[in-house]
Structures are given as C-alpha cells and as structure tokens.
Amino acid sequence: MSRTTLPFVLVGLIAAFAAQCSSALSFAPDLEGRTSSASKSRADFLRSIAVGAVGGAVSLASAPTAASAAADVAGLKPKLTNLSDGELKKIIAADMIERSFLVSADLTREIYDERSVFTDEIDSYPIDKWVKGTQKLFVAEGSRVNLVGDVDVSPTKVEFRFDEDLMFRIPFRPVVSLSGSVVLDRDAESGLITGYREIWDQDVNAVLKTAKMKAADGSMKPFPIIGGLLK
C-alpha cells in the first residue's frame, strides 16, 4: 500500500485492527519472508499494518483545502534564519526533551522551511501534513520519547538518536517500542531545516513483537493479537 500522508495510514491501521479483532485477517503471510533493509523507518511499520486494511474504511479527516492551508501559513511566526549551530541545537533538544515532537508534532516550526519535505523510503509529504498526521496518529500523553546522547549540528545537517514508546490513537491503544535516529537537512544559506528522515534500528517484525496494551489493573501486557500472529 502506498501512502502520502499519515492520516490515511491511520485509517488503514484502524481497519486492520478491526479485522484482526474479528479473526478475519492475519498479517503473518505479508510479513514472513519479506526482505528487510538494514534499517526501517516508522513508515515501514505503518505500511506493514495498513496492507491488511479492509476496503471502505471511512476517513477520519479530509485533506486540507487551499484556503485552510493558506490560513495556517499566514498565522505562522517569522522564520528564525541563520541561527548559530548552538542556538539550533538548543531548540531541537528542547523540541525532543520538553515537547516530544516525534509523537506530538509540537516542533519549533520557525526553524523549518515551509517547503521542507518529510521523506520515507517511498513517499514524501510536506510539513503541514506531517504535523497534522502525527497529531492524529499518536497519543502523545501515552507515549514516551527520549533523546539519546547529544544533538549534532553542522551547517548542512542535524543528527540525533532517540528511543521511544509509541501509543497509537486506534482501538485498544497499542504501544510499541523502538529506537533509531533522525537526520535533518539544513539549507546552507538560510540555516533552515529543509528535510526530515527517520531511521529505525529494528526491523518491522521486531517492533511489532513489542506491542503492548494497558490491562484492567493498569499494567502493560503483551498485545495478544500481534504477539500471536508473529510467533
């Protein structure tokens, strides 16, 4: 399944889990024997689940109109151009540590070019769709994001590592755990971020097997649907 925005993947996730709950769908045939690259992105994981989505799922959000997109841009704060490496490092570290932007999408937009592109292995999408899709896909207050080590900044790129627990905004609120790195491309003239790429350390199956859900006693238990399918 090809996708261009996270909200559409959310539809697939909901449909796939609904089908699993009725014992009408198995992911195993899709995942077994699948060739893995050295690293996997969040998009790989979402696509692996979304392939099982049943047809006719109702979209949770319509695509933004040109008028609404223009209004969003008009309300943005001025861009923070030509920041020093130290200033940019401080902002990105705060976005990670204080605002958990990987799951909340609460990033400092002033340091991003509005033409910045968020890319996975097969698709690219603009910052506005990434922000709105991330907010709809993840439960920020039920997720955990840690910055691992330092934020490395140069005139052309920014790199940092993370580990996280992702809670999906779908039935049962499953949580998966993973680690990886983020690479942000930086424009040499303006200093603004023009590209985002997230890379996972684990492959799809490994991440799926970490799925948990909250039990009646409040503890986190292995998610039975995923665990049973990937044994």
Q: Which of the two residues, 175 and 29, has the higher pLDDT score? A: 175
Tens of pLDDT along 123-152?
Answer: 678 999 989 988 998 999 999 999 999 999
Structural Rg of the chain based on CA atoms: 18
Q: Give the Cβ contact number of residue 231 at 10 Å.
A: 6
Q: Is 87 left (phi over 0), alpha (psi -120 to 50) or beta?
A: alpha
Supply the pLDDT for residue 21.
46
% of the chain exceeding 70 in pLDDT? 63
Whether the per-residue pLDDT at 173 is higher than 70: the answer is yes
Tens of pLDDT along 9-23?
Answer: 334 444 555 454 444
Q: Give the Cβ contact number of residue 52 at 10 Å.
A: 20
Q: How sure is the predictor about 24, in pLDDT bands with cuts at 50, 70 and 90?
A: very low
Q: Tokens 């309300």 appear where?
A: 75
Contact between residue 230 and residue 34 where contact means Cβ atoms under 8 Å apart: no
C-alpha 76: how far from chain center: 23
Give the strand pairing for 112-119 and 193-200.
parallel
Residue range 211-229: average pLDDT?
Answer: 76
Tens of pLDDT along 64-120?
Answer: 454 444 445 668 899 999 999 999 999 999 999 999 999 999 999 999 999 999 876
Supply the pLDDT for residue 119.
78
Contact between residue 113 and residue 79 where contact means Cβ atoms under 8 Å apart: yes
Whether the per-residue pLDDT at 168 is higher than 80: the answer is yes
| DSSP codes of every residue in 70-93 | HHHHHTPPPP--S--HHHHHHHHH
Supply the pLDDT for residue 209.
86
- What are residue 161's DSSP bridge partners? 148, 181
187 phi, psi to nearest 5 deg: -70, 130
Supply the pLDDT for residue 141.
95
Supply the pLDDT for residue 75.
80
